[in-house]
Each structure stands twice: as structure tokens, then as C-alpha cells.
């Protein structure tokens, strides 16, 4: 086939190099201005630069945030309609299930990404104030009592701050939508529209600040209140979220909510804190402790670079239970070694200052198991720019499905850690180039472990809902399956019972 012949006028014009150069220049400038001002370029910039509220500075201190919340926000929160009921019958559960089915069919037909679509829709229960605001006020009125210590000497209110994930998540969920920054989770006011149900009960505060019997009574009341809800009965709790972040909290009744999603500090596969079958990576979610020390930001990291002369730092209790017994062995091995600081210390204000100072002067920070496989010290190290040296064979890490801890931490097995000289030889073999790279990654990763109000994109609250979205398919599968099995079992039972009654009423048959 012959090529189409170009008009001679065009051929004549193309022979002029000046005109050709002018045309190419105009074309290049057109492309430049198109890409500079096109919508796609602004979209790209919006993605690469984290969105921040223009007028609200995020508060990362639990005490300061709570003070502001109780003084300004708590009384002004508008009461949204709550369709929960006090006395539940089978009809309530069936009616909710029917409404839920209609909604799910709408999503299935209208949303090409359902059930993996975002945002996650969360229904927040409006529980009586004795489970929520009263406990926050109790903490507010007593947190300055520094003499309030646990049996092992830890400041009670410091422990509550460490495990205050229930406050940070709840404060974000119930904030007016105009003040929220997270776009991957939305609060809904109708239960049939919810993917998940959040239970805003402050289990850690009640455990530490109430008398033992008073606490157990409140746990039983909370358990009854939640398990009486139609949504709970519909799913047997599988789509309900319980913040049980301290391993001692809610312990007396948690066997009754084992189907629910628990927010935990770790899995504790040793069995010391959770009974077999109560926790699993399939249904539960591990959340980071709230750091005890202040964030070392970009300026701080730059200024501390030349001051990091300590090779390895540890400050804390060397005598712990369960898997934490390895601390004493490691402490005995490393105490007195050159460029190593091993200190016995507590978590009080003086201890916080000493730990923060030590971590900001160190290259590596030792993070062995505590009474549980995890330790708040790991997250203190991360936000301090000190490379964690993790010694905990049973440890499951927060958001491990989307964060690669190998980029910012060193992992050492318990077997190697107790070998004479092994830890120091290994750390000294890590090149300065690798150390700089890991510290750069720490600077980038630290945002994932700093709770704040308002909650920030890519902060721990944000990652919670990204991880939750991945659980929704399994939750829906198990909920539907359990309903089918229970329904069919009841049908069989009804038929058998009728047949049995008929047999007994007519001996001839």
C-alpha cells in the first residue's frame, strides 16, 4: 500500500529551519505549561505532601490533649441519634440483620471495590458516662498524685498514658467531621451502615483507678450492656472492637468477648496473659504503646547526630517476669562494657528525662522483652532516633503487615543475645553507612508511632483503620457463616423437638 502523499505546501514550509525551530519551541513551551498547571500535577503534589489541618496544631501529649478535650470538647459534642436498645429480643436482631443485608446489597451493586472499599464505616456506641466520661474525669482529677504506684513501683498514671490508645481513637472518631483529618474512616449513626462497632470503654483507667471489686462490677456491667445490643447478638461480637491494651485490663470477663476484635500491645503467645483461643493475628490488632519520651524531630536528629557517642543504651528494670527474665542475663553481660550504658530506672518524671537524654546520645537502644514480649521502650527508641535492638523471640509488632521493621531495627535471638560478647561484636560489625540509612528510616517511620489530636494521616490511628479494612472480609464471612449454622441448628432442633413431643404424646407411634 502506498503511503499518503503529503501536500507540497507543507513540504515547502518544513524546509525552512527557522520556522521549524519556532514551531518546536512553541510546542515545548505548551507542554511545559500544560504539565505545570494541569490538575494531575496538583494531585501528585497533594499526595506527596501530607495533608495537615491549616489552623490546628496536633497535640501529642495525652494529659494536655485530655485537658483540652474535657474543658472544651466533651460538653459540646452533639448527641447523635443512637439506635441501640436496652432489652433485645430475636425480632430486634432479625430486623437489624435485614436492614444490614439491604445496605450490603446496595454496596455490592454500587461500589466496585466492596467489601475492600474505603473509608471504613464505624458505629461508635454511646455508652453511659460511667464507662467513658466519668473515667476520663477520674484520671483528670488524680493524675498529679505521683505517689500512686503499682505493686512493682511503676507510676499508675504513666502506665495509663502508655496504654491510652482507647482515648486517642475515640477522640478522633467522635470529633466533628470538619475537624478530622483522617479520610479512611468515617463515623456512621445507623447500625445497618456500619462495617465495625467501636466500644468506648476505658478498661485500663478503670483497672488502675478503681477498687478491685468496684472495677470487676463495672466490667460486668459493661459486658452486659454491650452483649445486649442487637448488633452484638447478630455477629456474636465479631465486628466489635474492644480496646484492651493493658494485658491486665478487662481480664475477669474477657473470655465472654473472645470473638471480638481486641486492640492489644502484643499477642503474648507464651500464654502468660491471654488464655489459648482468646487472641490471634487473624482477628485482633496490635497497637504501639504511647511513647514515654518526646519526639526527636528533624532538627533534633540533626543536632544530636554528633552527640551519639554511646554505642548501646538501656534504662529500665532488669528484673522482669516470664520472657523478660532475659533482661537480667543481658544486663550482667553488658554492664561495664566500653561505650555501653546499662541503668536500672523507673518510669517517673526523673526516669523519663534520663531515658530521653540517654537515647538521644546513643546509636543503638536495647529493647528486650518485658513481662510481655513487647515493651514501651521500643517506641521510645523509635521516636528518639535510636536504632532499636530487639531481643524478643515471641514478639509480634504493630502494623507489621505494612511496615518493614528490618529497615530501622536490629533483631537478635535470645539464644545469641546471652552468648558472651555476641551482641557487641554484632553491633560493631554494622557499617556507618547502614547506621545512617537506618536512622533516616527511623526519622521517616516515627510518624507512625506518635498519637495525636487531631489524628494525623499516616499516624497510628490512621494505620489502625488501614489494617482493619483488611479484616472486613473475614469478619463478614464468619458472621454470615455463624448465622447460617445457628439458624439451621435451631430449625433442626425445632423439628426434632416437635417430632419428639409427638412421639411422647402418642405411645402407639
Q: Does 454 sit behind a cis peptide bond, omega within 30 degrees of 0 on the bond before it?
A: yes
Query: Does 181 lie in the same domain as 121?
Result: yes
Residue 97 has pLDDT above 90, yes or no: no
3-class state of residue 107 by DSSP: helix
Query: Does 180 lie in the same domain as 67?
Result: yes
Which residues contact residue 4 at a Cβ distance below 8 angstroms, ignoring those fewer than 6 apart?
Answer: none
Structural domain includes residue 222? yes
Quote the cell numbers at residue 178.
470538619
**End-of-domain residue from the set 400, 426, 449:** 449
- CATH code for the domain of 359: 3.40.50.2000
Determine which of 16-20, 158-162, 277-281 has the lowest per-residue pLDDT on average.
16-20
Structural domain includes residue 175? yes
Structural domain includes residue 181? yes
Query: Does 186 lie in the same domain as 325?
Result: no
Query: Does 308 lie in the same domain as 282?
Result: no
How many distinct structural domains can be found in the chain? 2
Residue 53 has pLDDT above 60, yes or no: no
3-class state of residue 212 by DSSP: helix
Tell me how crowded residue 175 is: count the other CB atoms within 10 A of its CB: 19
Average pLDDT over residues 71-79: 65
What range defines the domain where residue 443 resides?
Answer: 298-449
Average pLDDT over residues 281-296: 94
Query: Does 195 lie in the same domain as 314?
Result: no
Structural domain includes residue 456? no
3-class state of residue 240 by DSSP: strand
Q: How far is Cα 364 from Cα 76, in angstroms, rounded to an integer? A: 46
Q: Are 364 and 312 in contact (CB under 8 A)?
A: yes
pTM for this predicted structure: 0.80
pLDDT band at 5 (very low <50, low <70, confident <90, very high): very low
Phi, psi of 81 (to 5 degrees): -65, 135
Query: Does 274 lie in the same domain as 238?
Result: yes
Q: Which residues of 21-52 are buried (b: 16+ CB within 10 A; e: fewer)?
A: eeeeeeeeeeeeeeeeeeeeeeeeeeeeeeee
Query: Does 318 lie in the same domain as 268?
Result: no
Query: Does 211 lie in the same domain as 86?
Result: yes
Query: Does 231 lie in the same domain as 111?
Result: yes
Determine which of 32-41, 142-151, 379-388, 466-475 has the lowest per-residue pLDDT on average.
32-41
pLDDT band at 467 (very low <50, low <70, confident <90, very high): very high
Which residues contact residue 189 at a Cβ distance below 8 angstroms, ignoring those fewer than 6 apart?
Answer: 80, 81, 82, 83, 123
- pLDDT, position 6: 38
pLDDT band at 4 (very low <50, low <70, confident <90, very high): very low
Structural domain includes residue 159? yes
Query: Does 334 lie in the same domain as 274?
Result: no
- pLDDT, position 298: 87
Query: Does 244 lie in the same domain as 187?
Result: yes
Structural domain includes residue 107? yes
Q: How far is Cα 30 from Cα 45, in angstroms, rounded to an integer? A: 21
pLDDT tens profile 168-198: 999 999 999 999 999 999 999 999 999 999 9
**End-of-domain residue from the set 220, 255, 286:** 286
Structural domain includes residue 206? yes
Q: What is the DSSP string of 337-397?
A: -TTEEEEE--SSHHHHHHHHHHHHTEEEEEEE--SSS--HHHHHHHHHT-EEEEE-TT---
**End-of-domain residue from the set 227, 262, 286:** 286
Structural domain includes residue 427? yes
Q: Does 115 sit behind a cis peptide bond, omega within 30 degrees of 0 on the bond before it?
A: yes
Which residues contact residue 475 at a Cβ distance below 8 angstroms, ignoring those fewer than 6 apart?
Answer: 195, 196, 235, 238, 239, 261, 283
Query: Does 267 lie in the same domain as 386?
Result: no
Residue 167 has pLDDT above 70, yes or no: yes
Residue 266 has pLDDT above 80, yes or no: yes
Which residues contact residue 147 at a Cβ distance below 8 angstroms, ignoring those fewer than 6 apart?
Answer: none
Residue 16 has pLDDT above 50, yes or no: no
Q: Are 124 and 173 in contact (CB under 8 A)?
A: yes
Which residues contact residue 384 at a Cβ distance below 8 angstroms, ignoring those fewer than 6 apart?
Answer: 293, 296, 356, 359, 360, 365
Residue 41 has pLDDT above 60, yes or no: no
CA angle (161, 214, 163) in 5-degree steps: 15
Phi, psi of 330 (to 5 degrees): -65, -40
Amino acid at each position: 500500500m502506498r503511503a499518503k502523499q503529503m501536500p507540497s505546501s507543507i513540504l515547502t514550509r518544513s524546509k525552512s529551519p527557522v520556522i521549524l525551530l519556532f514551531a518546536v519551541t512553541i510546542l515545548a513551551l505548551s507542554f511545559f505549561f500544560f504539565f505545570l498547571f494541569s490538575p494531575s500535577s496538583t494531585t501528585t503534589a497533594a499526595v506527596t505532601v501530607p495533608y495537615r489541618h491549616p489552623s490546628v496544631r496536633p497535640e501529642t501529649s495525652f494529659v494536655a490533649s485530655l485537658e483540652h478535650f474535657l474543658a472544651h470538647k466533651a460538653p459540646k459534642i452533639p448527641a447523635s441519634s443512637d439506635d441501640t436498645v436496652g432489652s433485645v429480643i430475636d425480632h430486634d436482631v432479625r430486623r437489624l440483620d435485614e436492614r444490614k443485608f439491604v445496605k450490603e446489597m446496595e454496596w455490592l451493586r454500587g461500589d466496585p471495590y466492596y467489601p475492600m472499599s474505603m473509608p471504613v464505616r464505624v458505629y461508635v456506641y454511646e455508652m453511659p458516662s460511667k464507662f467513658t466520661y466519668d473515667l476520663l474525669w477520674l484520671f483528670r482529677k488524680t493524675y498529679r498524685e505521683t505517689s500512686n504506684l503499682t505493686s512493682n513501683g511503676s507510676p499508675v498514671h504513666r502506665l495509663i498514658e502508655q496504654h491510652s490508645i482507647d482515648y486517642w481513637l475515640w477522640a478522633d472518631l467522635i470529633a466533628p467531621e470538619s475537624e478530622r483529618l483522617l479520610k479512611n474512616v468515617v463515623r456512621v449513626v445507623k447500625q445497618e451502615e456500619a462495617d465495625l462497632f467501636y466500644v468506648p470503654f476505658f478498661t485500663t483507667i478503670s483497672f488502675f483507678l478503681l477498687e478491685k471489686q468496684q472495677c470487676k462490677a463495672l466490667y460486668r456491667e459493661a459486658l452486659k450492656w454491650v452483649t445486649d445490643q442487637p448488633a452484638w447478638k447478630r455477629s456474636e461480637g465479631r465486628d466489635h472492637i474492644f480496646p484492651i491494651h493493658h494485658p491486665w485490663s478487662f481480664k475477669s470477663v474477657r473470655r465472654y468477648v473472645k470473638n471480638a476484635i481486641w486492640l492489644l500491645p502484643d499477642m503474648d503467645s507464651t500464654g502468660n496473659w491471654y488464655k489459648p483461643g482468646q487472641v490471634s493475628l487473624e482477628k485482633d490488632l496490635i497497637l504501639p504503646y504511647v511513647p514515654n519520651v518526646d519526639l526527636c524531630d528533624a532538627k533534633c536528629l540533626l543536632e544530636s547526630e554528633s552527640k551519639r557517642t554511646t554505642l548501646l543504651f538501656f534504662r529500665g528494670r532488669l528484673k522482669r517476669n516470664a520472657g523478660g527474665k532475659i533482661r537480667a542475663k543481658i544486663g550482667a553481660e553488658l554492664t561495664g562494657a566500653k561505650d555501653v550504658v546499662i541503668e536500672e530506672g523507673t518510669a517517673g518524671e526523673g526516669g523519663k528525662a534520663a531515658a530521653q537524654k540517654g537515647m538521644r546520645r546513643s546509636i543503638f537502644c536495647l529493647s528486650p522483652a518485658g513481662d510481655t514480649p513487647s515493651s514501651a521502650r521500643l517506641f521510645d527508641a523509635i521516636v528518639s532516633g535510636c536504632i532499636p535492638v530487639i531481643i524478643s523471640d515471641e514478639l509480634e509488632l504493630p502494623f507489621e503487615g505494612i511496615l518493614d521493621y528490618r529497615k530501622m531495627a536490629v533483631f537478635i535471638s535470645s539464644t545469641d543475645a546471652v552468648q558472651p560478647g555476641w551482641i557487641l561484636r554484632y553491633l560493631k560489625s554494622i557499617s556507618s553507612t547502614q547506621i545512617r540509612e537506618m536512622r533516616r528510616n527511623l526519622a521517616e517511620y516515627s510518624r507512625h508511632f506518635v498519637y495525636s489530636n487531631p489524628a494525623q494521616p499516616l499516624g497510628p490511628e490512621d494505620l489502625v483503620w488501614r489494617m482493619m479494612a483488611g479484616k472486613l472480609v473475614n469478619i463478614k464471612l464468619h458472621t454470615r457463616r455463624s448465622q447460617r449454622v445457628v439458624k439451621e441448628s435451631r430449625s433442626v432442633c425445632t423439628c426434632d423437638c416437635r417430632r419428639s413431643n409427638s412421639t411422647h404424646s402418642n405411645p402407639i407411634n
